[in-house]
Structure 1
Amino acid sequence: MTTDSRLILVGQVGGGFGVRGEVRVTAFTADPLALTAYGPLLRADGSVGLTLTSARPDKNGVVGRAKEIATKEQADALRGLKLHVPRDRFPEPEEDEFYLADLIGLQARDGDDAAIGVVKAVQNFGADDMLEIAPAAGGPTWYLPFTRDAVPDIRLAEGWLRVLRPVEVGEREPD
């Protein structure tokens, strides 16, 4: 089995909680308490950011103790720190399921099966997930809503997905 060291964003430090060195962490996971099961939570560069030793649910995530934090000031100093977990620490998804991070690097193919780019990132600007596509011919990246209509076919094991770009304003749909 190969290891996958891509880092997945799972939370962000909100700062100190109370006066005894607890830290508030906003969780980007379905189960906020899962943050305690992943082991050390990493910084974007792969170094250890926080190791939660205990946690309890909070409105946006968890409040807990971390090995690296002893005071409220230390917790406040980490406010805004993004916390990541290597992809290989997540359980394998069920059949016909995947993690959004698994889409990164897939070849984007059009309706005629021509390679038109590569998925560079999956972004969420507050509404829905968007695929950021780096064009095969070079130039600026472009975004595509990650919907069944826009991405009707995902072949993870084969390394590609089908993308159907919306018709641009002023363009006509083919007859």
Structure 2
Amino acid sequence: MTDMICVGAIAGAYGVRGELRVKSYCAVPEDIETYSPLWSEDRSRQFALAILRPIKNGFAARIPQVATKEDADALRGTALYADRDQLPSLPDDEFYHADLIGLDVYDTGGVLLGRVKTVQNHGADDLLELQLVSNSATTFLPFTKAAVPTVDLAARRIIADPPEGILPDARD
């Protein structure tokens, strides 16, 4: 497991006075401010984020090092990470996406299906994108209790019972 979790991203400038447009990936979006200081992925930059107000698709925020629109635009696309120990511990049936990426996925008979490549959410439930071992293709597995009955972070594996039609047919 990684010691940092991505909690948001800088989407660019908001206005001309150095304010930033920030997207939060937190369950409670406003919580991103409480995890300050935030870091760039390589830990080369630290950000003391202060939310000013909610805006469409995120927040207008300020970072002390950013004074101009150009400074803010230069940070566009910067992912914001919090130290894991700053984040709340999760119930047994909830997981940080970062902890699922890279886990091996086995079917209920013990056959390796693939590895979790990404975790996606397009408005409903989370989807695990699996890189399949059978043909190197990818497929999406619903991250529900029925399709994924077991997640064992200690063993770095997931037991899945994929719904019919999720996996390519062996005859193809």
TM-score by length of 2: 0.76
Residue range with higher mean Cα deviation, 61-70 or 83-92: 83-92
2:136 corresponds to 1:139: yes
Match of 2:2 among 1, 4, 9: 4
% identical equivalent positions: 42
Taking the aligned partners of 1:32 and 1:127, their CA distance within structure 2 comes to: 17
1-structure distance, mates of 2:156, 2:77: 34
The separation in 2 between residues aligned to 1:96 and 1:89, in whole angstroms, is 20
**Match of 1:153?**
150
Deviation at 1:127, TM superposition (A): 4.8
Distance 1:141 1:88 in 2: 33
Supply the RMSD in Å over aligned alpha carbons: 3.0
Report whether the alignment pairs 1:120 with 2:117.
yes
User: What do residues 144-174 of structure 1 show as CA deviations (whole Å, max 9, x unaligned)?
Assistant: 1212222122233443222123333996xxx
CA distance in 1, matches of 2:104, 2:122: 23
Equivalent residue for 2:29, pick from 9, 32, 36: 32
Cα displacement (A) at 1:49: 6.0
Unaligned runs of 5+ in 1: none
Unaligned runs of 5+ in 2: none
Q: 2:60 pairs with 57, 60, 63, which one?
A: 63
Cross-structure match for 1:14: 11
CA drift of 1:4 comes to 3.2
1:75 aligns to what SS in structure 2? Answer: helix
2:162 to 162, 165, 173: 165
Instruction: Say how many residue pairs are matched.
Output: 168
Contact 1:119 1:132 in 2 (8 A): yes
**Over residues 51-79 of structure 1, what are the superposed CA-to-partner deviations in whole Å (9 max), with x where a residue is unaligned?**
31x22340333222202201223113323
- For the 8 Å contact 1:33–1:56, the answer to whether it is kept is no
**In the TM superposition, what whole-angstrom CA distance separates every residue of 1:100-155 from its partner, at most 9, and x where no partner exists?**
32222322111212332222321234554211223345623332121222212223
Q: Is the 8 A contact 2:2 2:98 kept in 1?
A: no
Offset, 1:11? 1.7
